[in-house]
Amino acid sequence: MNTSTVHQESELRSLHGKRVAIVGYGSQGRAHALNLRDSGHDVVVGLRPEGPSFARAVADGFAPLAPAEAARSADLVAMLVPDSAQPALYRDHVAPALRKGSAVLFAHGFNVHYGQIRASQDVDVVLVAPKGPGDFVRRQYSDGHGVPCLVAVAQDATGEALGRAMAYAHGLGGTRAGVLQTTFAEETETDLFGEQAVLLGGVTELVIAGFDTLVDAGYQPEVAYFECLHELKLIVDLLYEGGLARMHHFVSETAKYGDLSRGPRIVDANVRASMRTLLEEIRSGAFATEWVLENQAGRPRYERLLARDLAHPIEKVGASLRARMAWLARPTEREAAT
């Protein structure tokens, strides 16, 4: 990854003696705040007193301030609230409090790339995006490791923007695993595409279609669940650990031939064309506009689609089967462990 020795020796000190405000204390916000504090940085958390994360931040040893007050006191402000909440929070509380020469940091480039947030010309605008959920970022740091990070600069008002981003990534533990320099456009567009075409939209629709095909053909829903959802983790783990080569090494020859000969019939030219269409909607801003308007309207379509997804029979079958799997950590147990 293109992080030079010069970067690691000079730029990683760019936040020395500076205050970092973490606005938001969800999955990423908590991990960033704790990792940066443990790395020796002066960290303040910006939260609404009535917010759901306030008590947790206090329990972790922070004395949260109102977002505007936290931003006013800081040299770098990390916007780590959900994308949909960022524009109003930035406009009404953070932007008026920023000092000339300070920096605003994002973990996802959506609002900057699509013009929902436009910072004044006298502040740095940077991105540090760990490639993992917050609890994983925290756990890896605590174990002496790190999670790779993407770093980008949208606006360099001070000449120190990249150094500040690198120092922040270093404080998260990202330089232990590697830091890749990118752009806000590349991070945002590839992230959205991955979610829609593969990681979420593609995978869940494929799982449901496979489940429905087997059940409609008369097979037991429980067996269909095991074949189309449960065993997916086994394959994903192999791919995660060693790519296609490791996956091919550990599956049977029969499974491997079925993969190689039948996979292209599922993900065919029509699917690839649909992926290109999705990507064009992302690059043109059409998806961003749709999502912004959906939020402004109160998310009626979002809620309807989510309810339909969660009402699918695979959810009922899966809940019953998973209740018998003693090795699965329940959500409350995972939260307590982080």
pLDDT of residue 5: 39
Angle at 134 between CA 183 and CA 146, to 5 degrees: 75
Contacts of 269 (CB under 8 A, 6+ apart): none
Query: Is residue 231 annotated as involved in ligand binding?
Result: yes
225 labelled binding-site residue: no
Q: How far is CA 228 from CA 3, 49, 94, 95, in A?
A: 40, 44, 46, 48
The answer to whether 134 is annotated as binding is: yes
Answer whether residue 337 shows pLDDT above 50. Answer: no
- For residue 114, the one-letter residue type is Y
Backbone angles phi, psi at 128, to 5 degrees: -135, 110
pLDDT exceeds cutoff 90 at 51: no
Min mean pLDDT across 14-18, 155-159, 326-330 is at: 326-330
pLDDT at site 210:
98
**Chain segment 96-153, per-residue pLDDT in tens:** 999 999 999 999 999 999 999 999 999 999 999 999 999 999 999 999 999 999 999 9
Q: pLDDT band at residue 2, thresholds of 50, 70 and 90?
A: very low
Annotated catalytic residue within 7, 41, 108, 113: 108
Q: Was 28 annotated as part of a binding site?
A: yes
Q: Does pLDDT of 335 surpass 50?
A: no
Per domain, the residue ranges of the chain are 9-182, 193-337
48 is in an annotated binding site: yes
Q: What is the sign, positive or negative, of the torsion defined by CA atoms of 277, 280, 284, 290?
A: positive
Query: Could you confirm whether 32 is annotated as catalytic?
Result: no
| Amino acid 331: pLDDT | 54
Q: How confident is the model at residue 9 (pLDDT cuts 50, 70, 90)?
A: low
The predicted-structure confidence for 248-262, as pLDDT tens digits, reads as follows: 999 999 999 999 999
**Tokens 């990792």, located at residue:** 35
- The pLDDT tens digits of the residues spanning 298-324 come to 999 999 999 999 999 999 999 999 999
As a CATH number, domain 9-182 is 3.40.50.720
**pLDDT at 13 (0 to 100):** 80
pLDDT band for position 12 (cuts 50, 70, 90): confident
Tell me: the pLDDT tens digits for 190-236? 999 999 999 999 999 999 999 999 999 999 999 999 999 999 999 99
pLDDT for residue 336 = 41
Which residues does 172 contact at the CB level (< 8 Å), separation at least 6?
A: 31, 32, 35, 36, 39, 128, 130, 137, 141, 146, 147, 149
Per-residue exposure over 95-108, b if at least 16 CB sit within 10 Å of its own CB, e if not: bebbeeebbbbbbb
Residue 318 known to bind ligand? no
Taking the model in full, what pTM does it have? 0.91
Say what the pLDDT of residue 330 is. Answer: 60
